[in-house]
Amino acid sequence: MDLFLVFTVVFVALVFTYTNGFHDTANAIATVVGTKVLTPRQAILLAAVTNLVGAFFGLAVAKTISSGLVEAKFITQQVLICALISAIAWNLLTWWFGLPSSSSHALIGSLVGAALASAHGDWSAIKWSEVKPKAAKILVQPSPEVLSAIGTNQLQDGTTFLHIGTNKVAVVEFGGRVMMVAEKASVDKAGILHKVVIPMITSPVVGFGGGLLFMALLYALLRSWKPMTVNRVFGKLQLASSAYMGFSHGMNDATKCMGIITLALVAGTKAGLFDHVPAWLHFLYTPEGSDVHKLTLGDWLESWLPGFLQFGYMPTPGDPKSQGVPDWVVVLCALTMAAGTAAGGWRIIKTLGHKMVKLQPVHGFAAETTAATVLAVAGSMGMPISTTHAITTSIMGVGCAKRFSALKLRVIERIVWAWILTLPAAAGVAYLLVQLGRVCGFVQN
């Protein structure tokens, strides 16, 4: 029965990923459809492919979801199922009404509400704020001692530990390049406050301000251009900005459910559920910690590129204390997100691409480039921010650079209310589902 619950968690997580795909497709492609650079079918295909590729890069968000928001001891398979059902319900509700709400915040709110109910209202189940000093890992040129220790040995791609006297030194090798891992004093800020609440406030502000300034700069640079020339040039450039947006969306959103599934697998492994399964199910076994020698699928994709296209890319140094995400989970979530993206989300595309502000290709380029950059930076820092917040506020900023009256404030008011309600509403539904599951005997604790 417990093993069945693990498979149920995986299935429901994939259903959420699918709904996330068609719910948030609009975020990646609404502007390119609104400017008529691509048809909806072409734009959805572009978004599906770039979402798939982006999902292989940057697993920091997955690690935050799997170990940085709630206490694992309060999380069971049943609690995860309740959280995912709550998030799916919110996604479907806001999709039906055409509101570009945040799938990220729906999932986080649901996870917090479910964990709180599982702990019988004990607020210590939530990791609100953790600030502690840490040694941040940075890559530097190897010292002569390290080069001597390497000698003529052929290192394996990834992180390798070398013993130099009484010291253990980590080096990263990739594509024939070798860098040494050094430590730099830093502060580790984790928990709901630093990973969710602060980014939830700052990312819309940065999106709005970035879109406004970028569009103002383009107006200054292009004031002597003919409108026909601007539309022709930025119609082509918007293809690149849409691909960038799709890539960043996959990097940020597809990895969320990788974290949920990994959380379920780690819990199942700790409970001994996979100790006596048939050999063909051994892939489910997921111990805590990470294999530092293992490259991510994004690293493998980079390794296939010619050296001049890698631009000095180096993998992130391995950390045995950081929870790794199994490759099969990455592939499964990436493909599911791409399939959901291909299903489209025309209701929300109309809101973002047509109702908020009338867009031309140059406006779409500015909004997508701004939002994609916000997503990529936040995703690399492990912050599961809202793709919706980033692109919507970027469109608002671009609209204000055009003229303030270009914005349709009634539509924006509906969107803002959806933002405000998402976290508490999803948390409340998940809390009630866990309590109902406890009454019905589904949730045991």
Query: At residue 81, does pLDDT exceed 60?
Result: yes
**Helix runs in 142-197, H state only:** 144-150, 192
| Cβ contact 189:373 at 8 Å | no
Write down the pLDDT at residue 437.
92
| Cα–Cα distance for residue pair 199/206, rounded to 1 Å | 10
| Cα–Cα distance for residue pair 194/257, rounded to 1 Å | 20
Taking every pair of C-alpha atoms in the chain, what is the biggest distance, in angstroms? 72
Residue 149: which pLDDT band, with cuts at 50, 70 and 90?
confident
Vertex 161 angle, CA 157 and 164, to 5°:
130
Average pLDDT over residues 84-112: 83
Least Cα distance to 100 among 28, 194, 15, 198 occurs for 28
| Cα–Cα distance for residue pair 272/5, rounded to 1 Å | 14
Q: The tokens of 44 are what?
A: 């959805």
Write down the pLDDT at residue 73.
80
> By 3-state DSSP, what share of the chain in percent is helix, strand and coil, each rounded to 5?
65, 10, 25
pLDDT-above-90 percentage for the chain? 13
Query: At residue 320, does pLDDT exceed 80?
Result: no
Q: Name residues whose C-beta falls within 8 Å of residue 305's C-beta, 6 or more positions apart in sequence.
A: none
Average pLDDT over residues 385-395: 81
Give just the sign of the alpha carbon dihedral 27, 30, 32, 35. negative
Average pLDDT over residues 133-159: 78
Write down the pLDDT at residue 318.
66
Out of 34-38, 207-211, 427-431, least confident range: 34-38
Residue found under tokens 């399964």: 277
Q: Are strands 177-190 and 167-174 parallel, antiparallel or unpaired?
A: antiparallel
What are all long-range contacts of 195-200, with beta carbons under 8 Å and residues at least 24 apart?
A: 195/64, 195/68, 195/69, 195/382, 195/383, 195/384, 196/69, 196/105, 196/108, 196/383, 196/384, 199/378, 199/383, 199/385, 200/105, 200/385, 200/386, 200/389, 200/423
Has this prediction a pTM greater than 0.85? no
| Cα–Cα distance for residue pair 20/87, rounded to 1 Å | 9
Helices 40-54 and 2-34: crossing angle, nearest 10°?
A: 130
Query: At residue 184, does pLDDT exceed 50?
Result: yes
Out of 97-101, 144-148, 149-153, least confident range: 97-101
Query: At residue 183, does pLDDT exceed 90?
Result: no
Q: Where are the domains of the chain?
A: 2-129+191-288+323-440
Residue found under tokens 């990923």: 17
Neighbours of 175 (CB within 10 A): 17
Write down the pLDDT at residue 280.
84
Burial of residue 87 (number of CB atoms within 10 Å: 0-12, 13-18, 19+): buried
Give just the sign of the alpha carbon dihedral 101, 239, 336, 370. negative
Query: At residue 358, does pLDDT exceed 70?
Result: no
Judged by DSSP in three states, 227 sits in helix
Average pLDDT over residues 260-269: 82
Q: What is the pLDDT of residues 187-205, one digit of tens each?
A: 777 788 888 888 888 888 8
Least Cα distance to 110 among 429, 325, 385, 367 occurs for 429
Write down the pLDDT at residue 353.
47
Least Cα distance to 341 among 67, 16, 108, 49 occurs for 49
- Residue, of 25 and 399, whose pLDDT is higher: 399
Q: The tokens of 253 are what?
A: 């959103």
Write down the pLDDT at residue 321.
59
Q: The tokens of 144 are what?
A: 């002569």
| Cα–Cα distance for residue pair 87/337, rounded to 1 Å | 15
Give just the sign of the alpha carbon dihedral 177, 180, 185, 189. positive
Q: What is the pLDDT of residues 20-41, one digit of tens each?
A: 777 666 666 767 777 778 877 7
Write down the pLDDT at residue 345.
57
Query: At residue 56, does pLDDT exceed 90?
Result: no
Query: At residue 117, does pLDDT exceed 90?
Result: yes
Average pLDDT over residues 228-254: 87
What φ, ψ does residue 302 adopt, rounded to 5°?
A: -65, -40
| Cα–Cα distance for residue pair 419/158, rounded to 1 Å | 40
Q: Of 127-131, 308-312, 433-437, which has the strongest mean pLDDT?
A: 433-437
- Residue, of 268 and 435, whose pLDDT is higher: 435
Write down the pLDDT at residue 396.
84
**Helix runs in 173-275, H state only:** 192, 198-222, 227-249, 255-270
Query: At residue 427, does pLDDT exceed 90?
Result: yes
Query: At residue 132, does pLDDT exceed 80?
Result: no
Average pLDDT over residues 148-160: 76
Mean of per-residue pLDDT scores for the chain: 80
